[in-house]
A and B are shown apart, each in its own frame.
Chain A
Amino acid sequence: MIALLSLAWRSLLNRKGSVILTILAVALSVALFLGVEKARNGARDGFGNTISGTDLIVGAPTGSVNLLLYTVFRMGNATAEISWPTYQQIAARKDVAWTVPISLGDNHLGYRVMGTTTDYFEHYKFGGGKPLEIADGEIFDDLFDAVIGAEVARDLGYTVGTPLVLTHGLGSAGFEAAHDNRPFRVVGILKPTGTPVDRSVHVSLEAITAIHVGWESGARNPLADTISEEMIRSFNLTPRTVTAVFVGLERKGTILTTRRAINTNKGEPLMAIIPGEALAELWSVTAVAERALLAVSAFVIAVGLVSILTSILTSLNERRREMSILRATGARPHHIFLLLVLEAGLVGFIGAILGIVLVYVILGALAPMLQAQYGVAFGTGLPGRVDLTVLGAVSGASLLIGAVPAIAAMRRSLADGLSVRL
């Protein structure tokens, strides 16, 4: 066996050119498969790491995935809001430890603006319990203060003190929709988190109310500009509605009963979701697409394996002489069989190893960019179970597929005997 393995190895070295191409084909197909797999897991981990410590998210009734997406991931829109008194009822519940109301619906140059309380910076956790931290400046205090995420600061080049104007609605442009009569000022910049927080502009709930003074109809009232800043500051800026509420419970054990109590609230209809559960629901939706992607990349691996088959089959003709020499020097048919099977297995094994190396090198190089652009964190640690499984499966399949040319060569060498003329 060892003797044959070294023969197989030398035989492959002798056909370096075509063997390297075949190994590349296998490597690329394995790299694609693992890349898809890692992107999938990275996206899941990224989403899963975005929020922690929050037991319930409460909003107006909608789909639970939808509620999760717009409150945590800043994707999509709220269809309705909940009223301030209802929020106060939730906050006053005995089983509720803390609440963070949030108000969404405006943006700054495409970055979503979130109105909230300073409690947000205390209670919102990500990445398995890490708190938000200020990199520069401080948490908002004044009505027109804003705290921006790391990516907003980096992309727009903002520093503490930079003025900014919010825009009504979620579309980015629309000059006529700008709240340019109420400029804000950056007072704090958060450290990067790898979550949508990096792409958010945080202001106080009162600020959201303030900039909408004169916008009660949904568009700018011509008289809005006549209201001075001093007048606004003197108004009661308690919001009339909020988009959603992050809720932390006194005891985790009550999570299901609390959720039921909120969902069956007598007054305004409400919906409470458990973030982890809504995420699971989201995954069950995306699972179909993930499976399709995995299936496609698995087929690409199959193509890679077929290229092993092709390269060995096409080499058989020119190796007829070699086979009869091996037979003449004492090789049994099963030696011929094993030689070719081992060659196929070696190509598959080396290809898979190279593919794994390739995927780690590429991800290692691209990880910072992917993290920044898409918030998808790729695990670039040591190769794990999936890599080893793919390595084993590809090597095994190569050995198996090698049986086809191996049987052909064995049969032919039996028929040729010792007398092949070139």
Chain B
Amino acid sequence: MTDTVIGIENVRFAWARGPEVLDIPAFSLARGERVFLKGPSGSGKSTLLGLIAGVLAPQAGTIRVLDQDMGALSAAKRDKLRADHVGVIFQMFNLVPYLSVTGNVLLPLRFSSARRKAAGADAEGEARRLLARLGLTDEALLSRRVSDLSVGQQQRVAAARALIGAPDLIIADEPTSALDADARDRFISLLSEEVERSGASLLFVSHDASLAPLFTRAVDLSAINRAGVTA
């Protein structure tokens, strides 16, 4: 296995009957890197993440994730790759409303035997350990309905869920845009710590350029994307 977690070459993508939103000649993310990808909303960031996560397929070019050519894989194989190796954090509303806090954290283990194995026999304990590392230790809090949690708490639950079972790549799509400055910085440092500890790589997408110094590398999407998207 090489050290390239994401490798993109000449990828082009357009939504059905829409203009081209992505045309990226090259982009790569190495193992252990924590990359900040800056892009205003509507710049195609979420589309790019969809491509990397394998829920979308590009019209041209190759996307390699963990040395697998996503274009060559069937949709089912791409789904399996994501389930086993990728953790995703959304901007907000990350949690399944009818599951408990730990139920949400354990969710990826329901769909991936690889991550179930990696999480160990005591998956519940692993979930609590991750939540504790992310600053969620209050037992009363863990038994509450997830919709009763604050946005900051919800995002940390989502981070624990993305991290459980030691995936190789964490994709975070504007996870801090709903947080205030203090909560945002704390969230990023906790996330970075845990990503580093688990040896994963992080692709962190945001429109907020001020966050860039918190990562090992920063990339501007508009600099690597040739498609003329104006947003």
A-side residues, CB < 8 A to B, are: 3-4, 7, 10-11, 13-14, 321-322, 325-333, 335, 414, 417-419, 422
Task: Indicate if B134 sits at the interface (CB-CB under 8 A).
Answer: no
> A3, A333, A418, A422: which has the most chain B beta carbons within 10 Å?
A418
Check A330–B112 contact: CB distance below 8 A: yes
Task: Indicate if B190 sits at the interface (CB-CB under 8 A).
Answer: no
Chain B residues in 8 Å Cβ range of A335: 111
Check B93–A418 contact: CB distance below 8 A: no
Check B96–A418 contact: CB distance below 8 A: no
Partner of B55, one of A14, A322, A418: A418
Check B88–A328 contact: CB distance below 8 A: yes
Task: Indicate if B32 sits at the interface (CB-CB under 8 A).
Answer: no
Contact with A along B170-190 (1 / 0, CB 8 A): 000100000000000000000
Check B46–A419 contact: CB distance below 8 A: yes
> Given A418-B88, A419-B47, 14 more contacts at CB 8 Å?
A321-B93, A325-B94, A325-B95, A327-B55, A328-B82, A328-B88, A329-B88, A329-B111, A329-B161, A335-B111, A417-B53, A417-B56, A418-B90, A419-B46
Check A330–B93 contact: CB distance below 8 A: no
Chain A residues in 8 Å Cβ range of B56: 417
B 63-102 contacts with A by CB, 8 A: 75-76, 79-80, 82-84, 88, 90, 93-99
Q: How far is the CA of A327 from the CA of B108 in the complex (A)?
A: 10
> B76, B98, B173: which has the most chain A beta carbons within 10 Å?
B98
Chain A residues in 8 Å Cβ range of B108: 329-330
Q: How far is the CA of A330 from the CA of B95 in the complex (A)?
A: 14
For A334, give the chain B residue with the smallest CB separation: B76
Chain B residues in 8 Å Cβ range of A332: 76, 79-80, 83, 111
Partner of B50, one of A3, A13, A417, A422: A417
Check A418–B98 contact: CB distance below 8 A: no
Chain B residues in 8 Å Cβ range of A322: 96-97
Q: How far is the CA of A31 from the CA of B111 in the complex (A)?
A: 39
Partner of B49, one of A13, A414, A418: A418
Query: Could you tell me how many residues of chain B have their Cβ less than 8 Å away from some Cβ of chain A?
Result: 32
Taking the nearest CB of chain A, how far is it from the CB of B101, in angstroms?
13
Q: List 25 A-B contacts (CB under 8 A).
A: A4-B110, A13-B98, A14-B98, A322-B96, A325-B93, A325-B96, A326-B96, A326-B107, A328-B82, A328-B88, A328-B90, A329-B88, A329-B107, A329-B161, A330-B84, A330-B107, A330-B110, A332-B83, A417-B50, A418-B46, A419-B46, A419-B47, A419-B49, A419-B50, A419-B173
Chain A residues in 8 Å Cβ range of B112: 330
For A327, give the chain B residue with the smallest CB separation: B55
Partner of B53, one of A11, A326, A333, A418: A418
Taking the nearest CB of chain A, how far is it from the CB of B78, in angstroms?
10
Chain B residues in 8 Å Cβ range of A331: 83, 111
A3-B110, A418-B46, A418-B53 given; A333·B79 CB < 8 A: yes
Q: How far is the CA of A422 from the CA of B94 in the complex (A)?
A: 11
B 120-172 contacts with A by CB, 8 A: 161
Chain A residues in 8 Å Cβ range of B53: 328, 417-418
Check B83–A417 contact: CB distance below 8 A: no
Chain B residues in 8 Å Cβ range of A326: 96, 107
For B164, give the chain A residue with the smallest CB separation: A329
For A413, give the chain B residue with the smallest CB separation: B55
Check B50–A11 contact: CB distance below 8 A: no
Q: How far is the CA of A13 from the CA of B111 in the complex (A)?
A: 21
Chain A residues in 8 Å Cβ range of B94: 325
A330-B108, A332-B111 given; A422·B83 CB < 8 A: no
Taking the nearest CB of chain B, how far is it from the CB of A230, in angstroms?
91
Chain B residues in 8 Å Cβ range of A327: 55
Q: How far is the CA of A7 from the CA of B47 in the complex (A)?
A: 28
For A419, give the chain B residue with the smallest CB separation: B46
Partner of B90, one of A7, A11, A325: A325
Q: How far is the CA of A14 from the CA of B93 in the complex (A)?
A: 16
Taking the nearest CB of chain B, how far is it from the CB of A284, in angstroms?
54
Taking the nearest CB of chain A, how far is it from the CB of B230, in angstroms?
19
For A328, give the chain B residue with the smallest CB separation: B88
Taking the nearest CB of chain A, how far is it from the CB of B120, in angstroms?
18
Check A10–B98 contact: CB distance below 8 A: yes
Chain B residues in 8 Å Cβ range of A7: 99, 110
For B99, give the chain A residue with the smallest CB separation: A10
Check B96–A330 contact: CB distance below 8 A: no
Chain A residues in 8 Å Cβ range of B99: 7, 10
> B50, B107, B108, B161: which has the most chain A beta carbons within 10 Å?
B107
Taking the nearest CB of chain A, how far is it from the CB of B93, in angstroms?
5
For A13, give the chain B residue with the smallest CB separation: B98
Taking the nearest CB of chain A, how far is it from the CB of B207, in angstroms?
14
Chain B residues in 8 Å Cβ range of A329: 83, 88, 107-108, 111, 161
Q: How far is the CA of A331 from the CA of B115 in the complex (A)?
A: 13
Q: How far is the CA of A10 from the CA of B84 in the complex (A)?
A: 24
For B107, give the chain A residue with the smallest CB separation: A329
Chain B residues in 8 Å Cβ range of A321: 93
Taking the nearest CB of chain B, how far is it from the CB of A329, in angstroms?
5
Q: How far is the CA of A10 from the CA of B100 in the complex (A)?
A: 10
For B165, give the chain A residue with the smallest CB separation: A330
Q: How far is the CA of A414 from the CA of B112 in the complex (A)?
A: 19
Q: How far is the CA of A7 from the CA of B112 in the complex (A)?
A: 15
Q: How far is the CA of A328 from the CA of B46 in the complex (A)?
A: 13
Q: How far is the CA of A24 from the CA of B103 in the complex (A)?
A: 29
Chain A residues in 8 Å Cβ range of B55: 327, 414, 417-418
Q: How far is the CA of A422 from the CA of B98 in the complex (A)?
A: 18
Chain B residues in 8 Å Cβ range of A333: 75, 79
